[in-house]
């Protein structure tokens, strides 16, 4: 799968940076500053391109047992296509990212990842990362049999 993403700080609007207090997510690996969004973070969030605007939404539903939303951060494309998520009225979105992380391996992302946005009982948006069967290369690289759907990119 993909347990985290990195996005260049320069890609995020200052208003989002301040509104969501993203300073603690800034990391420098010797180049331009990046922001890391990990599923293991205390506050689980992802940047999302939704209706032509970059937003920050909660990543899936990690710990709210009272919610009707699936308790995960990922959605299998096969489940989405089979209609298993239809009752949630999912909207396809793009998760902008420059790098992804799985099992300690960072991989480059040229545009972003596909995801879906659904709303909880309070109409708050949540984003789920779409996954598919891993390519041979991705599975060899990460030792995981699922990978994110990359926008206009193959690994």
What is the per-residue pLDDT across 7-52, written as a single tens digit (0 to 9) for each? 999 999 999 999 999 999 999 888 899 999 999 999 999 999 999 9
Would you state the pLDDT for residue 29? 86
Would you state the pLDDT for residue 33? 95
Question: How far is Cα 5 from Cα 112, in angstroms, rounded to an integer?
Answer: 10
What is the per-residue pLDDT across 71-128, written as a single tens digit (0 to 9) for each? 999 999 999 999 999 999 999 999 999 999 999 999 999 999 999 999 999 999 999 9
Would you state the pLDDT for residue 153? 85
Using left for φ > 0, alpha for ψ between -120 and 50, and beta otherwise, residue 21 falls in: left
């Amino acid at each position: 799968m993909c347990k985290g993403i990195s996005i260049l700080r320069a890609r995020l609007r200052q208003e989002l940076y301040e509104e969501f207090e993203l300073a603690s997510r800034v990391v420098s690996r010797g180049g331009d500053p990046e922001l890391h969004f990990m599923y293991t973070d205390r506050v689980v969030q992802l940047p999302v391109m939704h209706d032509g605007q970059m937003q920050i939404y909660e990543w899936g539903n990690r710990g709210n047992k009272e919610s009707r939303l699936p308790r995960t951060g990922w959605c299998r494309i096969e489940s989405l296509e089979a209609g298993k998520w239809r009752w949630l009225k999912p909207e396809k979105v793009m998760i902008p990212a420059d790098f992804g992380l799985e099992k300690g391996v960072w991989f480059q992302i040229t545009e972003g990842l596909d995801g879906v946005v659904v709303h909880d009982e309070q109409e708050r948006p949540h984003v789920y990362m779409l996954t598919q069967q891993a390519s041979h290369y991705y599975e060899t690289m990460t030792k995981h049999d699922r990978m994110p759907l990359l926008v206009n990119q193959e690994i």
